[in-house]
């Protein structure tokens, strides 16, 4: 039996592929390489380049390999772009996921682990965010993920699909092999590290007048190894017959932009110039996860919650791979 990993050549998916392999699981990766990198996963992994919405291709994969479960990482994830090009996001993240699910269910593959996001919550009404928090996304990216969540709940009732939808907060860090190489890059930690490497002059701090201790926005940063472990636990949970669940995944700790920059200065020994810029529309002051349910249902506990360790691992990867996967 094998695990189909969509988006397995991407940042988080590649870390999960690495851990699945270490555990001796058989893995088949499907990625269209629009944003992923073939080099991020071992040559030994069975790899198909293509779209998850290509029903013929997915059907062929399912005919060839005995697929037990699907970990579905593939998506486009640029919030700003999703506002400008919603069609691209609804088509890729929602419509193509429905096509993937159609083929999986038709071949009786009914264990599904979905990369959802805290962006499905929208404007926070209380903190930390638990699973009961109302969901009303504020951008098409968040909606495209929320719509998949709704479809999963209905597919469970109608077709017996069993899923775990993991709502990640801010993924970060690296393993020795897998690191963050998005093009364009929009995430805070790699951008700070580019500034440390002299690839950019400074890092922009969007807003220093938030109601937080130092005025900069606070986020919950979660190491990709901890995310990956949550996927392995979710797989075991489904194997044991667990019911479908939506689960928030974060450290439960928040770090402000200034604290992240300070930690990066300490880890890298570089000055890292920070420039204050206006707030970005739709950026809440604080986003922190309540991950009690992840602990209770999956037995998940983050192993790398410290921001300095997260940055240290990311820094090691960026120093070892100054041009990313190129």
The residues assigned a catalytic role are 141
Across the beta sheet with 2-6, the strand order is 46-49, 26-31, 2-6, 67-72, 111-117, 162-168, 245-249
- Of residues 120, 139, 170, 290, which one binds ligand NAD by CB under 6 A? 170
Binding mask 235-254 for ligand NAD (x = CB under 6 A): --------------------
Q: Which residue number, 55 or 270, has a Cβ lying nearer to ligand NAD?
A: 55
In the complex, the smallest distance separating the C-beta of residue 118 from ligand NAD, rounded to whole angstroms, is 7
Beta-sheet pairing, 255-256 with 218-219: antiparallel
Binding residues among 62-81 for ligand NAD as defined by CB under 6 A: 73-77
Binding track over 31-60 against ligand NAD, x by CB under 6 A? xxxxxx--------------xxx-------
Alpha carbon 117 to its chain centroid, in Å, reads 7
Query: How many residues of this chain bind ligand NAD (CB under 6 A)?
Result: 30
Q: How many residues does the chain have?
A: 326
> To the nearest whole angstrom, how small is the minimum distance from the Cβ of residue 221 to ligand NAD?
9
Query: Is beta strand 286-287 parallel, antiparallel or unpaired with respect to 218-219?
Result: parallel
> In terms of CB distance, is 206 or 215 closer to ligand NAD?
206
Helix axes 307-320, 188-196, angle to 10 degrees: 60
Q: How far apart are the first and last CA of the chain?
A: 33
Closest contact distance (angstroms) between CB of 159 and ligand NAD is 22
- Residue entry with tokens 């682990």: 113
CB of 163 to ligand NAD, least distance (A): 14
Closest by Cα among 90, 97, 79 to 7:
97
Q: Which is nearer to ligand NAD, 157 or 326 (CB)?
A: 326
What is the distance between the alpha carbons of residues 260 and 152, in angstroms, rounded to a whole number? Answer: 35
Angle between helices 307-320 and 257-268 (to 10 degrees): 50
If binding is defined by CB under 6 A, does position 11 make contact with ligand NAD?
Answer: yes
**What values do phi and psi take at 141, rounded to 5?**
-60, -50
**Span from 28-36, 200-208, 228-236, 269-277 in contact with ligand NAD (CB under 6 A):** 28-36
Comparing every residue's Cβ against ligand NAD, the nearest one is: 10
The residue ranges that bind ligand NAD (CB under 6 A) are 6-7, 9-13, 30-36, 51-53, 73-77, 92, 96, 115, 117, 168, 170-171, 182
């Amino acid at each position: 039996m094998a695990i189909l990993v969509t988006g397995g050549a991407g940042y988080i998916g590649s870390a999960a592929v690495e851990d699945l392999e270490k555990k001796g699981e058989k893995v088949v990766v499907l990625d269209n390489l629009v944003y992923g990198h073939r080099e991020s996963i071992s040559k030994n992994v069975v790899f198909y380049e293509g779209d998850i919405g290509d029903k013929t291709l997915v059907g062929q994969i399912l005919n060839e390999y005995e697929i037990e479960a699907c970990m579905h990482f593939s998506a486009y994830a640029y919030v700003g772009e999703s506002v400008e090009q919603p069609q691209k996001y609804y088509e890729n993240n929602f419509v193509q996921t429905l096509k993937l699910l159609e083929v999986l269910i038709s071949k009786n593959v009914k264990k599904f682990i979905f990369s959802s996001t805290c962006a499905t919550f929208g404007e926070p009404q209380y903190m930390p965010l638990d699973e009961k928090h109302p969901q009303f996304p504020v951008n098409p990216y968040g909606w495209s993920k929320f719509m998949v969540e709704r479809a999963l709940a209905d597919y469970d009732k109608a077709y017996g699909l069993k899923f775990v939808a993991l709502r990640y907060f801010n993924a970060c860090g690296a393993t020795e092999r897998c690191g963050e190489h998005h093009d364009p890059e929009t995430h805070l930690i790699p951008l700070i590290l580019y500034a440390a490497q002299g690839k950019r002059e400074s890092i922009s701090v969007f807003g220093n007048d938030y109601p937080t201790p130092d005025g900069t926005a606070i986020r919950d940063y979660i190491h990709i190894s901890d995310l990956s472990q949550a996927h392995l636990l979710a797989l075991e949970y489904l194997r044991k017959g667990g019911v479908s669940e939506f689960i928030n995944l974060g450290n439960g700790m928040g770090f402000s932009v200034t604290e992240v920059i300070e930690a990066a200065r300490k880890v890298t020994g570089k000055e890292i110039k920070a420039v204050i810029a206006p707030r970005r529309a739709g950026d809440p002051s604080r986003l922190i996860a309540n991950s009690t349910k992840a602990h209770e249902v999956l037995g998940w506990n983050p192993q790398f919650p410290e921001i300095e360790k997260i940055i240290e691992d990311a820094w090691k990867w960026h120093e070892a791979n100054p041009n990313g996967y190129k």
